[in-house]
Amino acid sequence: MRYSRWSCVRHRALFTLCGVLFVAGSVLGQSDSGLPEEFTAMRSALCDKPRDFAEAGCKVCPAFMAKSAELSLHGGLGINSILFGSFTSVGKTEAFLSSAGCFDHADGFASAFLLRKEQGSWRRLSFFHRDGPLGICQKIPGQSDKRDLLICSYEDYGAGAISVIAFDANGKVKKESVLVRTWTFPFRSLEKQEHCSSLEADVRKVSFNSIEISIFPNSFDVDPPIICDESDDTTSKIYNSKKFEAIAIFTRNEDNFAPDERTKQLLSEVEKSH
């Protein structure tokens, strides 16, 4: 079901909470973390000491992560997923790691890492927290002369985006391009609304040349007015309900993915209801 798939994805808080629950079991000794065997060799690029190694991360939060924290770190670091690729340059052996743990929601929750393997050892190129590639990411494959890119879906407190991320040669974010912005209720006013709208989105297909994204616009009027994010519990009568699924298509030009004409028109119409 589409809803159950998004229950740990659409909100950054929910996504990370689900990650913490999964990782907590791994750190405490689950036999199958779901991570590739290569992760065993990656831990030295993350954890402070070998005694901190855990099956799916570090038992203690690494010291370098504290530099990005406003609050004190707690617990351990758990890795949720690993994407292998050549993200900074063609021919490099690299890995993008998504994580949970160490941070409270108020301090940004999830974080991510970019590692590179050189001379048989993994080293950390970048640590991302609060910005850069966060959320649920997948690889956009490169070609013989083009490096790999990332496409990431991220939401927090009802607002988010699906973005394409390109790295520079040093592993820093070179460019981040938003393809679709999402929301679960209008932020234009905290007053009760007569009109509500939302836009959910899900990456459907990714290739070197194009990206397909399923979008789910929802727009309706209510009487009496409601606070839009409480619409599921309302007894108000809903008028003019318009909820449908559409396919947005973006085609590649170098590291950019531009919407086709139909997608431009579709997103423009959706934005008008926000």
Q: In the chain, at which residue ranges do the beta strands (DSSP E only) sit?
A: 53-54, 57-58, 74-85, 94-102, 111-118, 121-129, 136-140, 149-156, 159-167, 173-183, 193-206, 210-226, 237-243, 246-253, 256-259
Question: Which of 178, 193, 217 lies at the terminal end of a domain, its last residue?
Answer: 178
User: Phi-psi category of 69—alpha, beta or left, where left has phi over 0 and alpha has psi -120 to 50?
Assistant: beta
| pLDDT score for 122 | 98
Pair 172, 193 in one domain: no
Regarding whether 50 and 19 lie in a shared domain, the answer is yes
Q: Indicate the number of domains in the chain.
A: 2
**pLDDT reported for residue 211:** 98
Distance CA 122, CA 47 (A): 12
Instruction: Enumerate the β-bridge partners of residue 85.
Output: 94
- The DSSP bridge partners found for residue 7 are none
pTM over cut 0.85: no
Dist. CA 109–CA 130, nearest whole Å: 8
- Residue 140: name the closest of 205, 192, 185, 232 by CA: 205
Q: State whether 169 and 65 are in the same domain.
A: yes
Same domain, 191 and 64: no
Residues 79 and 160 in one domain: yes
103 and 195 in a single domain? The answer is no
Query: Are residues 31 and 135 both part of a single domain?
Result: yes
Q: Are residues 144 and 116 in the same domain?
A: yes
Residue range(s) defining the domain that contains residue 264: 184-274
Question: Are residues 192 and 103 located together in one domain of the fold?
Answer: no
Asked which of 178, 196, 224 is the last residue of a domain, the reply is 178
**Do residues 78 and 191 share a domain?**
no
Residue 132 has a pLDDT of 86
pLDDT of amino acid 5: 28
Q: Each residue's pLDDT tens digit in the chain (274 positions)?
A: 232 223 333 333 333 333 333 333 333 233 356 899 999 999 999 999 999 999 999 999 999 998 876 767 888 999 999 999 999 999 999 999 999 889 877 776 678 999 999 999 999 999 998 888 988 999 999 998 999 999 999 888 788 999 999 999 999 999 999 999 999 877 666 678 888 889 999 999 999 999 999 999 998 888 888 888 765 566 788 888 888 899 999 999 989 999 999 999 999 988 887 7
- The predicted structure's pLDDT at residue 184: 83
230 token code pair: 């409480």
pLDDT at 232: 58
My answer on whether 161 and 77 are in the same domain is yes
Domain edge (last residue) among 145, 178, 211 = 178
Q: Are residues 38 and 167 in the same domain?
A: yes
